[in-house]
Amino acid sequence: MPSNGSSNKFKVACVGRAFGPEAEAIIRDVAPAEFDLTFSVETGEAAHPLVHESDFILVTMPVTEKLIQESPKLRLVHKWGIGVDKIDLEGAERQGVPVAITAGSNAGAVAEHTLLLILGALRRISLADRSMRAGEWIYTELRPLCRKLSGKKVGILGFGNIGKNVAQRLQGFEVEIIYHDPYRASEEVEKKLNARYVSFDDLMAESDILTLHCPGGEANHHIINARSLARMKRGSVLVNCARGDVVDEQAMVAALNSGQLLSAGLDAFEPEPLPASSKLLAMDNVVLTPHTAGSVLDNVAPVALHAFRNMQRVINGEPIPRSDLVVVPSKPRQFAGSDAGAQRA
């Protein structure tokens, strides 16, 4: 039975900027009958009372150990999407609360956006659009700045669900695909995706276009920095649909100004939102989007259903799929009428 006692439904707080009115309507439409949903676009203290009273949270906001500790009914922290760099994972472990993601649920959308940014950066689509809106016709001026995708070597840093989806979508573009990841893909997958495994240094040195799909956080903090950018071919292209902290922005701006990088397509920044003082905003060789690679309306229902199914697994004492579990507490919280089976998965 629900832990809130006074209700026959489980309380779910959906908190963060991902939940606008259109998305909220879809999520409510697909929500299981046993869930009572509350939404907030707040990401700070104003959202905390909703979390404190909830059995489950579905979030894009930061989640601290203090917030978890002050939410005694909380059974599961569920991320909308896959990035958990804003969730205190060690704190969740100490509080006995599992953390889950919707693994693979937005991989297709992010992969499509990656192709958009690759092509947009190669063809200077932002500059072309802005100049036309300003009444200009820079046909001759654009030619020296633009490049085609076919015939290029595309490097993928991070070969999980999204990286593989990018490789799959590149198949028709007549490119060579190389990748680096801590875990090499099987020979079968490499053959299917025409992808070749290389070292990190070789990825930097060989790529004409480098697209990032690795996790953020301490392990990959500024993995793209002055040193790694210097190893890249002069006139190469950088695309980031991962996390802002994997790129040293100052070093990237210097590489864009010097011509070491021809252009960049960026969907993730450090910090976010991108501050008005960022030099990137004034650069014609950069295509910018506000961390929207996975934000498409027709993917809302699948992501929501994915998360709700994991919540139902917790209620029923069933295991959450290992691909979705980020934190499995060694001493999970116990609730009346539940054997916490999902937390032991």
Active-site amino acid positions: 243, 272, 291
Residue 52 class from Cβ within 10 Å (0-12 exposed, 13-18 middle, 19+ buried)? middle
How many Å apart are CA 260 and CA 13, to the nearest integer? 46
Residue 53 class from Cβ within 10 Å (0-12 exposed, 13-18 middle, 19+ buried)? middle
The residue written with tokens 């992969």 in the block is 111
Cα angle 68, 72, 73; round to 5: 105
10 three-class SS = strand
Nearest CA to 39 among 53, 64, 20?
20
Query: Within a 13 Å sphere around the CA of 99, how many CA atoms are in the beta-carbon half?
Result: 26
Residue 165 class from Cβ within 10 Å (0-12 exposed, 13-18 middle, 19+ buried)? buried
Nearest CA to 43 among 273, 289, 254?
273
The one-letter amino acid code at 116 reads L
**SS3 track for 43-102:** CCHHHHHHHHCCCEEEECCCECHHHHHCCCCCCEEEECCCCCCCECHHHHHHHCCCEECC
Structure letter (DSSP) for residue 344: G
Instruction: List residues bridging with 58 in a β-sheet.
Output: 14, 78
Chain length of the chain: 345
Query: Could you give the dihedral angle defined by the CA atoms of residues 161, 83, 112 and 286, in that order, rounded to the nearest 10 degrees?
Result: -130
